[in-house]
Chain A
Amino acid sequence: MNDFSSSEVIDLDIPDSEAWNDFALAQGWSDGMPLVMPTEAAVARFTAAARGDNQTFAPISPRQVVPTLASLAANAVMAGCKPEYFPVVLAALRGVLSPEYNLHGTLATTHPCAPMIMVSGPLRQALDINCGSNCFGQGWRANATIGRALELILLNVGGARPGVMDRSTQGSPAKFSFCFGENEEVSPWAPYHVRRGFAATDSVVTVMSGEAPHNINDHGSTTAEGVLTTICESIAQPGSNLIYGKGPYVLVLGPEHAETLHRDGWTIEALREEVFRRARVHISRVSKENRESYASTGRHPDGDWYPMSPTVEDIHIVVAGGPGKHSAYIPSFGGTAVCSVRVALPA
């Protein structure tokens, strides 16, 4: 491995893509999958696409260096992005650099958290970001490469090397890429970014340091009460970081569950209150040692129950996915925040 840390441009004698990938892997630049070569010409196309975003970036943890637009673009090129995805990648980066996101803690932890990226607004369709069937899965270039680009930036500029500064005990498939779109077209409620105060015409990236999605299967319930029972009991897990980390989580309702809840009169605000009240772990499900450990750091149950979020406002509800009776729960790292950033596009 050579030390290129002080060189923004590197001259390479690389005969083919196989040799390039061997080289990149040896430098520690790879997530293990093949990378596109970040040539000067390719990077220039990406930086040109980011002309609407001309603010400087904060240092990236844990290495604490300030990136250049070119070094960020190089990672987006390597991830396989199209140039027009780059403003979304930059908005996601700005989100994770928000102080309340606690990037250093989320990267250095043993917890298997990864930056969840959710895109709301018109860019979802313009960039073909999957919001429907299999939205957390494979098959869409935008979903796969936008999330991958952010991960590569955190690896290469931030220095979050697995087993070195990224201390995750087991890691997560979400650490390869974790990007999806909100399915605004089938949601019975206002889009998430509008509920957070953005204009409907804005495109907004929301990030949270989260686990990979946990499935919530409920094929049998035909009422909101039934669906809510399954959702709340699925969220209430004693092994979750949230039981003592006390942070936010995202509930991603599948369109069919959302429709049942809406049909029976539930608003987003009422759902958040209800989930906050019911998604709790009884003390009988928590070991004596853990209860003592939580108490030693000031974490006490509310009566006989441990709540899964500090406040109602820490519960974020969106609609995504396609047909089927499934929803998903995305618990956060705990000591983090859900941060939304408007995508800055060229005028």
Chain B
Amino acid sequence: MRIINPSFGVMPAGSEVLASGAVDWLKDPIVLFSNSKPNARELLDGLKAKLATIRGIDNIGYAQKNSASQAAPAETLAEVAQSYRIALLALAD
């Protein structure tokens, strides 16, 4: 019996994953990214405090979506990609 795969789909053009190279967790800039839900900031603050025990935190910053229910705007993602090498996401709810 031959069937059509109900989960079949193709990757859209331009969706290739680009290698970003190795990162240095002790030196590279890190963005702490919030999904804008309650308690996300608390999670990220805790993470920053943990990171402070092993590295400098001068180049650790925060970013967040405009709305918990909407995707982050492209300009926010571009700005984050431009400024940081590592992103840690808080998926609070």
Q: Which residues of A contact B (CB under 8 A)?
A: 4-5, 7-14, 27, 29, 37-40, 43, 59-60, 63-68, 70-71, 73-75, 77-78, 102, 104-105, 109-110, 152, 156-157, 159, 245, 293, 297, 333-336
* Residue in contact with A39 in the complex, picked from B2, B9, B70, CB distance below 8 Å: B2
In the assembled complex, the CB of B74 is this many whole angstroms from the nearest CB of chain A, namely 12
Beta-carbon contact of B6 and A65 below 8 Å:
no
- Return 6 A-B CB contacts under 8 Å, by A number: A4-B5, A8-B4, A65-B12, A66-B10, A66-B11, A67-B8
Q: Which residues on the A side are within 8 Å of B71 (C-beta)?
A: 102, 104-105
Cα distance A27–B6 when bound, in Å?
Answer: 10
Residue of B nearest to A43 (CB): B4
Cα distance A77–B5 when bound, in Å?
Answer: 11
Cα distance A10–B1 when bound, in Å?
Answer: 8
Beta-carbon contact of A74 and B5 below 8 Å:
yes
Beta-carbon contact of B10 and A65 below 8 Å:
yes
Cα distance A157–B69 when bound, in Å?
Answer: 22
Beta-carbon contact of B70 and A102 below 8 Å:
yes
Beta-carbon contact of A335 and B67 below 8 Å:
yes
B55-85 CB mask vs A (1 if < 8 Å, else 0) is 0000000000001111100000000000000
Report if A66-B1 is in contact (Cβ < 8 Å); known contacts: A110-B93, A245-B69, A334-B69. no
- How many B residues touch A, CB cutoff 8 Å? 21
Q: Is B46 an interface residue (CB 8 A)?
A: no
A40-B2, A157-B7 given. 18 additional CB < 8 A pairs?
A: A4-B7, A9-B5, A10-B4, A14-B1, A29-B7, A38-B4, A38-B6, A39-B4, A64-B15, A65-B10, A66-B10, A70-B8, A71-B4, A71-B5, A71-B7, A78-B6, A105-B69, A109-B69
Q: Is B3 an interface residue (CB 8 A)?
A: yes
Residue of A nearest to B7 (CB): A156
Beta-carbon contact of B1 and A12 below 8 Å:
yes
Beta-carbon contact of B4 and A9 below 8 Å:
yes
Beta-carbon contact of B1 and A11 below 8 Å:
yes
Beta-carbon contact of A38 and B3 below 8 Å:
yes
In the assembled complex, the CB of B34 is this many whole angstroms from the nearest CB of chain A, namely 11
Beta-carbon contact of B1 and A37 below 8 Å:
yes
Beta-carbon contact of B2 and A9 below 8 Å:
yes
Residue of B nearest to A111 (CB): B69
* Residue in contact with B36 in the complex, picked from A73, A109, A297, CB distance below 8 Å: A297
